[in-house]
């Protein structure tokens, strides 16, 4: 942008609204001083951390610190994994990540309650128990407790056979 009076680079940009009509004025420092505009001695300084924090709050939200620590007890999915992948791990995630999901759902759908069809026979409880068994199996394997892992594996196979 160039100064409207002398064609140098403009560094002062003013907008004035008069009777609903906006007028813009672009001036260099020298022309702004000649026009009687009082300029501060030193420009205001913003710390980098303040700028980054305001960007995070504007784009991610204020709950980011609190939500980043959350992980689902059933499937182990972390909130930040959901944010990057865009997928939840299990039905329990909706309750665990409620504070972060409600604003997203509201923004996408305009409502935060389900208004469509629901299945007549919900297996939510069975699925939740199965997910807990799978998480426990992963933990047992990582701890090298293979006897406990074998028992959990057998329980999972029994649940699959009962389906």
pLDDT given for residue 145 in this prediction: 93
Question: Is residue 34 domain-resident?
Answer: yes
Binned average pLDDT, 10 residues per bin, the chain of 163 residues? 88 84 88 83 66 62 67 86 84 87 83 70 67 91 93 89 74
Question: Is residue 146 domain-resident?
Answer: yes
Strand bridging mode 21-27 / 12-18: antiparallel
> In angstroms, rounded to a whole number, what is the distance separating the alpha carbons of residues 101 and 116?
19
pLDDT given for residue 46 in this prediction: 64
pLDDT given for residue 63 in this prediction: 57
pLDDT given for residue 151 in this prediction: 94
pLDDT given for residue 101 in this prediction: 85
Question: Is residue 104 domain-resident?
Answer: no
> In angstroms, rounded to a whole number, what is the distance separating the alpha carbons of residues 135 and 140?
9
pLDDT given for residue 55 in this prediction: 65
Provide the number of structural domains found in the chain. 2
DSSP per residue, 63-109: THHHHHT-B-TTT--BHHHHHHH---SSTTHHHHTHHHHHHHHHHHH
Question: Is residue 78 domain-resident?
Answer: no
pLDDT tens, 41-58? 766 666 666 666 666 656
Give the structural domain span for 149.
Answer: 124-162
Question: Is residue 53 domain-resident?
Answer: no
Question: Is residue 115 domain-resident?
Answer: no
Backbone phi and psi for residue 98, each to the nearest 5 degrees, phi listed first: -50, -45
Of 123, 119, 47, nearest to 90 (Cα)? 123
- Under DSSP, the state recorded for 16 is E
Query: What pTM value is reported for the model?
Result: 0.36
Question: Is residue 65 domain-resident?
Answer: no
Secondary structure (3-state) at 10 = coil
pLDDT given for residue 64 in this prediction: 61
Question: Is residue 7 domain-resident?
Answer: yes
8 A C-beta contact, residue 106 and residue 100: no
Give 76-80 contacts, CB < 8 A, sequence gap 24+: 76/135, 76/138
């Amino acid at each position: 942008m160039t100064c409207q009076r002398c064609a140098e680079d403009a560094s002062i940009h003013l907008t004035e609204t008069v009777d609903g009509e906006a007028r813009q004025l672009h001036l260099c420092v020298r022309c702004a001083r000649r026009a009687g505009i009082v300029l501060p001695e030193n420009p205001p300084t913003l710390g980098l951390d303040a700028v980054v924090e305001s960007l995070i709050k504007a784009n991610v939200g204020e709950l980011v610190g609190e939500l980043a620590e959350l992980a689902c007890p059933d499937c182990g999915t972390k909130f930040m994994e959901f944010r990057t992948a865009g997928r939840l791990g299990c039905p329990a995630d909706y309750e665990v990540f409620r504070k972060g999901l409600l604003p997203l759902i509201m923004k996408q759908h305009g409502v935060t309650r389900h208004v469509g069809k629901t299945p007549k026979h919900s297996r939510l409880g069975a699925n939740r128990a199965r997910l807990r068994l799978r998480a426990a199996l992963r933990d047992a394997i990582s701890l090298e407790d293979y006897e406990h892992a074998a028992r959990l594996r057998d329980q999972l196979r029994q649940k699959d056979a009962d389906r």
